Amino acid sequence: MALTDADANAVIPQRRRLALLALLAVAGERGLTRDKVLAYLWSESSSENARHALEQLLYSMRRQVPEELFQGTDPLRLNTRVVHADVVEFERAIAAGDAARALAAYGGAFLDGFYLADAPEFERWAEQERARLSADHVQALRRLASEAHALGRHTTEIDIWRQLASADPLAERAAIGLVRALAEAGDWAGALRHAREYEARLREEVPGAPSTGLVALVKRMSGERAAVHAKEEATVEAGERYVIERELGRGAVATVYLARDRKHDRPVALKMLRPEVASGSDAQRFVREIGFLARLHHPHILPLYDSGTMALQEGRLGLFYVMPFVGGESLRQRLDREVRLPIADAIHVAREVADALSYAHREGIVHRDIRPENILLESGHALVADFGIARALETAGGEKLSVSGVVLGVPAYVSPEQAGGAGEIDGRSDIYSLGCVLYEMLTGTPPFTGATRGAVLARVMTDAVPPIRTVCPAVPPGVERAILKALAKQPKQRFADAAGFVAALGQAGQTT
């Protein structure tokens, strides 16, 4: 703990004076009466000596710091216009429900390593506050983990659960959370390893503790998943043209494979619709709908190479489509690594995506699922993937998909009209989704998050967009205005077309 100036130089090194600042920082606006301060800092001194010591301490601190550190005389309050305290910022963020800001302000255990001799009441207070603030920190982490889970951000969710498990290695909830997150991300070996480490640690630290069943659970889940995976691998042949090399990833709608196109001797990304999606879709209608996408030719749109059906085991019909294999990374992967992008990079990506949307909208095709996972980055440029796939699935599946539990779209990026179930969606819905993506590139999180899909959709439809420049003050006002217009609740209040969004970002971005 230290009080430093703008150049990080220690201003007040004395421990008792720092202890007073800590007391007042936690007390906040209500402050502390002088009697309370005396009880904490001079509990073993006579009343007269304690009051004299406090007066001397306040006098000395006022001489050390030219600015007025305190407000009022009794109770005493910290002047937050002069003193910035991490604990104050942390508590404000917790009160506002802003878990991300709370974590940014949390610098570790409260007063860790700080000790004040001859002040047992202060030490007891510090221990209680340390436990309280630590519990708030854990709750903030859990909330962020839930939000990451709802958004399908596996890397972020795993990182958060690792922090929780590291902070309390014996916490069963943290162990279960990390194991589940690893398993859902496909890291079965990691999930099993952590489950074994946790149970071994528990037996060592708590002799006689019953098994949590984590290891058995992971083994059972892994075995079930391996059986399904083996079955799917055996069925994916895509005729004789494509040779599957390895799996690249799995989503709610499709499993993506790196494949070799024998006809043209080139690597491709082959996307096989998941069985529950394929069974809920009219195969001929899906192939016909997705075929319209082949006419899209634009430098920032990943083209459709091929699509079709294939016979699978047990008489099932598989649906697949093929796109170029891009060797770069997705915008989601970059955001997971960097959290926020430099302003110029974010605007560059958004303008290229908006340019692709403008072209597709003129061709009568709406994407319906713009999100970081569907924006690929290669050689400094953005490529929009899966154009119109959502529309093709809705057209080919309709109510069957809903009955089978298939959910299209990620709630953090859907427009209010999509969230409300509007039948007709036009290009302005894509503009809204792109606004969400640009908002996240600049601030590190989409405008609306929540622990469940329903909670996010409710906020999308009703809540005002949090101001961008409160999180990232460097964002030019013109860029913020353009994003807020793109995120208007009513489509008619947004840009009429993506070209308008491109133009607005171009004009505003000139000041970056």
User: Which residues are marked as active site?
Assistant: 369
How far apart, in whole angstroms, are the C-alpha atoms of residue 163 and residue 167?
6
How far apart, in whole angstroms, are the C-alpha atoms of residue 293 and residue 297?
9
What are the helix (H) ranges across 168-319? Answer: 172-184, 188-205, 214-235, 275-279, 283-291
State which amino acid sits at residue 447. P
Token output for 283: 């195969």
Residues paired with residue 381 on neighbouring β-strands, in sequence order: 378
How far apart, in whole angstroms, are the C-alpha atoms of residue 29 and residue 85?
13
Token output for 113: 């390593």
Q: What is the 3-state secondary structure (H, E, C) of 370-410?
A: CCHHHEEEECCEEEECCCCHHHHHHHHHCHHHHHCCCCCCC
* Residues 71, 79 contacting (CB under 8 angstroms): yes
- Phi (first) and psi of residue 318, to 5 degrees: -95, 145
**Which of 466, 492, 491, 462 has its CA nearest to residue 480?**
466
Radius of gyration of the chain (CA): 28
- Phi (first) and psi of residue 470, to 5 degrees: -75, -30
Give the chain's end-to-end CA distance (angstroms, integer): 37
Token output for 10: 């220690």
Angle, CA of 253, 258 and 264, to the nearest 5°: 120
How far apart, in whole angstroms, are the C-alpha atoms of residue 230 and residue 248?
15
